[in-house]
Structure 1
Amino acid sequence: MLSATSTELIRATLPAVGAAIDEITTLFYRNLFTAEPDLERNLFNRGNQKQGEQQRALAGAIAAFAALQLEPDQVRVDRILSRIAHKHASLGIEPTQYEVVHTHLFAAIVEVLGEAITPPVAAAWDEVYWLMAETLIAMEAGLYQRAGVAVGDVWRDVRVRDRRHESPDTLSFVLASLDGSALPRFTPGQYLSVGVLLADGARQIRQYSLSSAPSSSDWRITVKRIAGQLDGERVATPAGEVSNYMHDNVFEGDVLSVTTPFGDLTLQPDNSPILLASAGIGCTPMIGMLRHLAETSDSRPISVLHADRSPNSHAHRVELTQLVEKLPTAVMHRWYEDLGGRVPESGLQAGRADLDNVTITKGTHAYLCGPLPFMLGLRSALLEKDVADENIHFEVFGPDNWTNGKADELTPVAG
Structure 2
Amino acid sequence: MTALTADQIARVKATAPVFAEHGTTITKHFYQRMFNAHPELKNIFNQTHQKSGSQPETLARAVYAYAANIDNLGALGGAVTHIAHKHASLNIRPEHYPIVGRHLLGAVVDVLGEAVDQPTLDAWAVAYEQLANIMIGAEAKLYEAASWSGFRPFKVMRKQVESDEITSFYLAPADGASAGGFEPGQYVSVTRYVDQLGVDQPRQYSLSDAPHGRWLRISVKREDGRADTQPGHVSNILHADVEEGTIVHVSAPMGEFTLDRKKSTPVVLMSGGVGITPMTSMLATLLAERSERKIAFVHACRNGRVHAFKDWLRRSAAEHPNLKRVVFYEAVGADDRAGVDYDFEGRLDIGRVEADVMLPDADYYLCGPVAFMRAQREALVARGVDPACIHTEIFGSGML
Same fold (TM > 0.5):
yes
Q: Secondary structure at the match of 1:352?
A: coil
Q: Which one of 182, 204, 209 corresponds to residue 207 of structure 1? A: 204
Query: Which consecutive residues of structure 2, in runs of 5 or more, have no partner in the other structure?
Result: none
- Tell me the residue number matched to 1:159: 155
Taking a change above 3 Å as real, the CA distance of residues 127 and 362 of structure 1, as seen in their structure-2 partners, is farther
Q: Hey, what's the Cα distance between the residues in 1 that align with 2:122 and 2:162?
A: 53
Aligned to 1:229, the other structure's residue is in SS state coil
Q: Deviations over 1:31-78 (max 9, x none)?
A: 1111122222x11111111111111111111112222234x262x412
User: Residue deviations 1:141-176, cap 9 Å, x none?
Assistant: 000001154xxx321111111111101122111111
1:35 corresponds in structure 2 to: 37
Contact 2:265 2:293 in 1 (8 A): yes
Structure 1 CA distance, aligned partners of 2:19 and 2:65?
A: 12
Gaps of 5+ in 1: 231-235, 403-415
Counterpart for residue 244 of structure 2: 252
The answer for the alignment partner of 2:24 in structure 1 is 22
1:198 to partner: Cα distance:
2.6
Q: Kindly tell me: are residues 308 and 203 of structure 1, through their superposed partners in 2, closer, same or farther at Cα, counting changes over 3 Å?
A: same
Using the size of structure 2 for normalisation, the TM-score is 0.92
* Distance in 2 between residues matched to 1:67 and 1:11, nearest whole Å: 5
Equivalent pair of 1:188/1:292 in contact (CA under 8 Å): yes
Matched with 1:59 is: 60
Contact 2:153 2:250 in 1 (8 A): yes
Q: Deviations over 1:211-252 (max 9, x none)?
A: 11102411111111111112xxxxx11111111111111111
Whole-angstrom CA distance in 2 between matches of 1:128 and 1:309: 47
CA contact (8 A) 2:191 2:249 kept: yes
In 1, Cα distance between equivalents of 2:44 and 2:399: 19
Matches of 1:348 and 1:126 in 2, distance apart?
56
In the other structure, the counterpart of 1:98 is 97
* Higher deviation after alignment, 24-33 or 320-329: 320-329
Cα deviation for residue 335 of structure 1 reads 1.3
Q: Which residue of 2 is the match for residue 180 of structure 1? A: 176
SS at match of 1:237: coil
Deviation at 1:277, TM superposition (A): 1.2
Spell out, residue by residue over 1:177-214, the C-alpha distance to the aligned partner (whole angstroms, 9 max, x if none): 22333211111111111111233542111111111110
Question: Aligned letter for 1:123?
Answer: D
User: Residue 394 of structure 2 is aligned with which of 390, 393, 396?
Assistant: 396
Number of residue pairs the alignment of both structures matches: 391
| Larger deviation, residues 253-262 vs 286-295 | 253-262
Partner of 2:303: 310
Deviation of 1:326 after TM superposition, in Å, equals 4.1
2:343 and 2:391 map into 1 onto residues whose CA distance is 25
Aligned to 1:369: 367
Report Cα offsets for 1:301-359 as digits up to 9, x if no partner: 22211111111111112222233344422222211111124476597112211211233
Code of the aligned partner of 2:85: H
| Residues 291 and 323 in structure 1, CA contact (< 8 A), matched pair in contact too | no
Instruction: Provide the C-alpha distance between the structure 2 equivalents of 1:195 and 1:133, rounded to a whole number of angstroms.
Output: 25
Give how far 1:400 is off.
Answer: 4.7
Tell me the equivalent position of 2:345: 350
Instruction: Name 1:411's counterpart in structure 2.
Output: none
Residue 68 of structure 1 aligns with an amino acid whose one-letter code is N
Question: How far apart, CA to CA, are the structure 2 residues paired with 1:213 and 1:18?
Answer: 42
C-alpha RMSD of the superposition: 2.1
Range 5-14 or range 87-96, more displaced = 5-14
State the identity %.
Answer: 38
CA distance in 2, matches of 1:319, 1:381: 28
Q: Distance in 2 between matches of 1:124 and 1:344?
A: 62
| 1:5 equivalenced with 2:3 (yes/no) | no
1:7/1:211 CA distance change after superposition, 3 Å: same
Residue 323 of structure 1 aligns to which amino acid in structure 2? S
Q: 1:344 to 1:319 in 2, by over 3 A?
A: closer
